[in-house]
Amino acid sequence: MSGDALLPKRRSFLAGMNAGAASLIAMGGVAAAQQSEASSAHWEPARHPQDAWLEKPSSRHRVVFDSTEFTSAGEALVFAANSFHVNQDDYGLQDSDLAVLIVLRHGATVFGYNDAMWAKYGEMLAVPSKAVDPKTKQAPKLNVYEASGYGDLLPSRGHTLAGLAKHGAQFAVCAMATHAFSGMIAKKSGGKADAVYAELSGNLIANARLVPAGVVAVTRAQEYEYTLVSC
């Protein structure tokens, strides 16, 4: 067979190779595009007006301490105080450089209420928190984490809610738990749950706010790039 007779087959073979190569290149381009699109996709949390208070534009570091009962509430105060002190002493930062949030939820919610509420409802507030005044060995008649003079008698080791508030710490108090405690108090005292709730929510400690649910405040804070410390 002459060389001229082989030319059509050779051209057909080369054309097939070129088409296959082009197809592979095209497939590779699609795959690369898909990979690039996937790598550039970044999940962003939704923002809600109720959570706007968490944004602290001037803050250089953000941390949230999550507390759920008597001991962990006191430990949260210690850790928050350490955060302020170390950042100031070792990093040369100011209080305004830090966004420090303590979430009081579940049994720790009651420490978001001021002394007036503890004086009135102390025996009932001590039930969910399992709080005991280490001086009297009885249910507290004041918010022990607001009081001075307890020192190492409490897990807070002398640090107080009021003292941290002066540094700029914020406190998130669980509204869901507050509703539950209001119902409990109303049942025992013969009052109305709505009235008790209004009373408790109107008597919060300094720099505190009611949040719909403490657990949601913890997750929202992380979405605002607060580092979580569980107490």
Q: What per-residue confidence (pLDDT) applies to 24? A: 44
Q: What per-residue confidence (pLDDT) applies to 93? A: 98
Q: What per-residue confidence (pLDDT) applies to 41? A: 79
Measured CA to CA in angstroms, residue 35 lies from 25, 28, 207 at distances of 15, 10, 47
Q: Indicate the pTM of the whole model.
A: 0.82
pLDDT along the chain (231 residues), means of 10: 51 52 52 56 92 96 98 98 98 98 98 98 95 97 97 97 98 98 96 98 98 98 98 94
Q: What per-residue confidence (pLDDT) applies to 42? A: 85
CA 97, 103, 108, 110 dihedral sign is positive
Q: What per-residue confidence (pLDDT) applies to 11? A: 53
Which CATH superfamily does the domain covering 58-230 fall into? Answer: DsrEFH-like (3.40.1260.10)
Residues in the chain: 231
> Which two three-digit tokens encode residue 185?
């108090």
